[in-house]
């Protein structure tokens, strides 16, 4: 049902807002507004007026009426980012609005009916927050109707080549560049990195690398030192094994190919897709690393 409340969970930078936009665009409210509010990015004293609006004279600086985010999102979707940051005092009022589908502006006498779909997101474990008394249990179950969990980037490393290519295509248009891809020397470093900032960090790294790139490929030279040094999560090669970037890169590349072949049970066409290289290039590397004899 296209008005179902959705809760998106995942670490910071996993793309929760992108998913919220996609859900809104794919629903029957796509022609209505999508209004976002970061519950952790607004001072507690201002949150209530941001949510529900206010009437002229409600407080000292209220020189005119102001709509709240709920009214702005009427007949559309309200995206509550980092809902786990909401203070308990406001959680009660939010729950009341969700139950009654009506809002009362600060300083207002009457309430107004609204029709708003809620998509909430959090990087916190809300069940633990409920147990700790920091998040209301009734509100948790009110928003936990349909749950979507976004895994961290380090838990889906096979997506990294595809995501990197997606960002390259996007930034080629934005920056007026003509970068073809991440080089085979640089790719193992991207795949081996821990990505604490997830997709957002990958996006920033790709944009930075493209600004620095002198050729049509992103090479290890354009990657930040943190990525060149922090390798080996999920891979066995460690940077301290060798001080040669080329040797370390080749070792990581070999491991990635081995992992892709194992994942696809030896299907080289599928492995090439996962690694985002052409099949002939993969076959050449399999031969170069003597993996065809395994």
DSSP classification of residue 240: G
The confidence score (pLDDT) of residue 237 equals 44
User: Per-residue DSSP letters for 121-157?
Assistant: EESS-HHHHHHTTSS-HHHHHHH-SEEEE---GGG-G
The confidence score (pLDDT) of residue 238 equals 43
Look at 228 and 34; give whichever has higher pLDDT: 34
Residues 177 and 281 in one domain: yes
Confidence of residue 209 (pLDDT cuts 50, 70, 90): very high
Residues facing residue 36 across a β-bridge: 79
Residues facing residue 56 across a β-bridge: none
Please identify, among 150, 170, 203, the residue that sits at the C-terminal boundary of a domain: 150
Instruction: Determine the Cα–Cα distance for residues 285 and 283; give it in Å rounded to an integer.
Output: 5
What domain range includes position 199? 154-293
pLDDT digits over 143-195, tens only?
999 999 999 999 988 889 989 999 999 999 999 999 999 998 999 999 989 99
* 1 in a structural domain: no
Please identify, among 120, 150, 180, the residue that sits at the C-terminal boundary of a domain: 150
Q: In whole angstroms, what separates CA 53 from the centre of its chain?
A: 29
Classified as helix, coil or strand, 101 is: coil
Look at 252 and 166; give whichever has higher pLDDT: 166
Enter the tokens of residue 72.
């702005």
Residues 272 and 185 in one domain: yes
Q: Where are the alpha helices (DSSP H) in 64-197?
A: 69-72, 88-100, 126-131, 137-143, 160-175, 187-192
Give a three-class secondary structure readout of 203-221. HHHHHHHHHHCCCCEECHH
The confidence score (pLDDT) of residue 59 equals 75
Please identify, among 95, 121, 150, the residue that sits at the C-terminal boundary of a domain: 150
Strands 116-122 and 146-149: unpaired
Range name among 99-103, 158-162, 202-206 with the lowest pLDDT average = 158-162
Has residue 55 got a pLDDT over 80?
no
Has residue 241 got a pLDDT over 60?
no
- How many domains, the chain? 2
Has residue 46 got a pLDDT over 90?
no
- The CATH number of residue 250's host domain is 1.10.8.60
Give every strand in the sheet of 146-149, ordered side by side. 34-38, 76-81, 116-122, 6-9, 146-149
CA angle, residues 196, 12, 185, in degrees to nearest 5:
35
pLDDT digits over 125-136, tens only?
999 999 999 999
The confidence score (pLDDT) of residue 58 equals 66
């Amino acid at each position: 049902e296209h008005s179902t409340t959705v809760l998106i969970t995942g670490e910071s930078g996993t793309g929760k807002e992108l998913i919220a936009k996609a859900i809104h665009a794919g629903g029957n409210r796509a022609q209505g507004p999508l209004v976002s509010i970061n519950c952790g990015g607004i001072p507690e004293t201002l949150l209530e007026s941001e949510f529900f609006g206010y009437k002229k004279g409600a407080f000292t600086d209220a020189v005119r009426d102001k709509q709240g985010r709920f009214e702005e999102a009427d007949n559309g979707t309200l995206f509550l980012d980092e809902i786990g940051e909401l203070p308990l005092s406001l959680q009660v009022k939010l729950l009341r609005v969700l139950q009654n589908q009506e809002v009362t502006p600060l300083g207002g006498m009457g309430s107004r009916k609204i029709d708003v779909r809620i998509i909430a997101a959090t990087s916190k474990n809300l069940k633990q927050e409920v147990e700790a008394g920091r998040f209301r249990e009734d509100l948790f179950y009110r928003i936990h109707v349909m749950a979507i969990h976004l895994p961290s980037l380090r838990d889906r490393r096979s997506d990294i080549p595809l995501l990197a290519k997606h960002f390259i295509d996007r930034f080629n248009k934005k920056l007026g560049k003509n970068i073809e891809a991440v080089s085979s020397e640089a790719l193992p470093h991207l795949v081996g990195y821990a990505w604490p900032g997830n997709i957002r960090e990958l996006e920033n790294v790709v944009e930075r690398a493209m600004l620095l790139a002198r050729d049509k490929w992103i090479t290890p030279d354009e990657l930040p030192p943190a990525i060149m040094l922090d390798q080996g999560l999920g891979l066995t090669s460690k940077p301290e094994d060798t001080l040669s970037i080329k040797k370390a890169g080749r070792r990581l590349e070999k491991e990635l190919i081995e992992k892709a072949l194992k994942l696809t049970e030896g299907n080289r066409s599928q492995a090439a897709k996962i690694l985002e290289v052409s099949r002939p290039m993969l076959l050449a590397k399999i031969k170069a690393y003597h993996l065809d004899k395994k």
